[in-house]
Structure 1
Amino acid sequence: MEFFELLRKRRSIRRFKDEKIPRKIVELILKAAFLSPSSHNRRPWYFIVIDDREKLDLLSKAKPGANPLASAPLAIAIVGDPEKSDVWLEDCSIVAEHIHLATFPVGLGSVWIQIMNRKSFDGRDAEEYVREVLNVPKNLRVPFIIAIGFPAEEKKPHGKEVEEWWKVFHNEFGVAYGRGEESRESPRPKG
Structure 2
Amino acid sequence: MNFEELLFQRRSIRKYTKEDMNPDTLQKILQAGLLAPSSRNKKPCQFYVIQDKDILKQLSTIKPSGTFIGDANAAIIVMADASLSDVWIEDCSIAMSYMQLMATALQVGSCWVQMRKRTNALGKDAEEVVKEIVGAPQTYRLVGILSLGLPAQILPPHTIDDVDASKIHKI
* TM-score, with length taken from structure 1: 0.87
Q: Which moved more, 1:37-46 or 1:121-130?
A: 121-130
Equivalent position of 1:151 in the other structure:
151
Q: Aligned ranges for residues 68-107 of structure 1 at < 5 Å? A: 68-107=68-107
1:30-179 map, 5 Å = 30-171=30-171
Partner of 2:9: 9
| Pairwise CA distance, 1:27 | 0.9
Unmatched 5+ residue regions in structure 1?
172-191
* Structure with larger Rg: 1
* Distance in structure 2 (CA, Å) of the matches to 1:116 and 1:26: 24
For structure 2, the 5+ residue unaligned runs are none
Deviation (angstroms), 1:138: 1.4
Residues 1:20 and 2:20 are matched in the alignment: yes
CA offset at residue 126 of structure 1? 0.8
SS at match of 1:147: strand
Q: Give 1:162 deviation, angstroms.
A: 2.8
CA distance in 1, matches of 2:39, 2:130: 26
Deviation at 1:163, TM superposition (A): 2.1
- 1:183 equivalent in structure 2: none
Distance 1:120 1:150 in 2: 27
SS at match of 1:112: strand
1:109-139 alpha-carbon deviations (Å, 9 max, x no partner):
1000111100101211111111111111111
CA deviation after TM superposition for structure 1 residue 167, in Å: 1.3
More relative contact order, 1 or 2 (CA 8 Å, 6+ apart): 2
Q: Alpha-carbon deviations, 1:23-76, whole Å to 9, x = none?
A: 111111111111100110001111001000000000000112111201101000
C-alpha deviation, 1:89, in angstroms: 0.6
Distance 2:67 2:100 in 1: 18
Residue type at the aligned position of 2:10: R
The Cα shift of 1:95 comes to 0.2
Q: List, as ranges, runs of 4+ consecutive aligned residues in structure 1 with deviation greater than 4 Å.
A: none
Identity among equivalent pairs (%): 37
Give the drift of 1:141: 0.9
State the SS of the aligned residue for 2:102: helix
Q: SS in structure 1 opposite 2:95? A: helix
CA distance in 1, matches of 2:136, 2:115: 14
Moved more, 90-99 or 125-134: 125-134
1:2 CA drift (Å)? 0.4
So what's the TM-score if we normalise by structure 2? Answer: 0.96
Pairwise CA RMSD of aligned residues?
1.0
